[in-house]
Chain A
Amino acid sequence: NAGVTQTPKFRVLKTGQSMTLLCAQDMNHEYMYWYRQDPGMGLRLIHYSVGEGTTAKGEVPDGYNVSRLKKQNFLLGLESAAPSQTSVYFCASSFRILTGGVTDTQYFGPGTRLTVL
């Protein structure tokens, strides 16, 4: 059971280049999330998905697109990278249990460090 994995771990892009970050989970979680973490800003939600084939915007969605074609995968795309997108990106997943409970909490991947020059 690998939990949540992210690919790649590190990446350097030039301004205007595109790339896709891949998140995979093997816990059969319905919900998946993409966050970015910047110093002094904490974790900010970019996009999330409540199930296969669905996506929704989070707090800071501009400049990013996502897709959830398979339940276990959640892709984050940058079409035209900007230096402001230099950050550490975390993927997370959770069960969809509306009554709450500890099993409803989020499990995070190890992160992708992205630098845009």
Chain B
Amino acid sequence: QKEVEQDPGPLSVPEGAIVSLNCTYSNSAFQYFMWYRQYSRKGPELLMYTYSSGNKEDGRFTAQVDKSSKYISLFIRDSQPSDSATYLCAMKILTNTGNQFYFGTGTSLTVIP
């Protein structure tokens, strides 16, 4: 079983729709949760970062973490064509020697004008 599971999609929505992206994980030791956005032929860029259960909002984006269910979500409100990208969830454990990062495989999103 992979440490992090993410539905690869692809996901296609009309402009203005609410998008829900999800990841599940198996390791209860994960402490920090991140969402990266990756445009075609570019490197991933950090979109959202959270370390506790609950919701964190940033503009049109809301990151949700449910540690009891080992489930995280990213919601995009009023989706725009510029949101078309691959979204990667990532998780982090702090260890004595540093940080260990684990990534989902990414969900491809297309927002149709």
Q: Is the interface of B mostly helix, strand, loop or mixed?
A: strand
Q: Which of B31, B42, B88 contacts A100 (CB under 8 A)?
A: B31
Size bin of chain B's contact surface: 20 to 34
Knowing A98-B98, A100-B32 are in contact, say whether A40-B105 is a contact too (CB < 8 A): yes
CB distance from A106 to the nearest CB of B (A): 6
Contact A42 B43 (CB under 8 A): no
Whether a CB of chain A sits under 8 angstroms from the CB of B60 is no
The 4 closest A-B pairs by CB, nearest first: A108-B43, A42-B105, A43-B103, A102-B49
Write the residues of chain B forming the contact surface with A, with a CB cutoff of 8 angstroms. 6, 8, 31-32, 34, 36, 41-46, 49, 51, 88, 90, 92, 94, 97-99, 101, 103-106
Write the residues of chain A forming the contact surface with B, with a CB cutoff of 8 angstroms. 4, 31, 33, 40-43, 45, 50, 90, 92, 94, 96, 98-100, 102, 104-111, 113
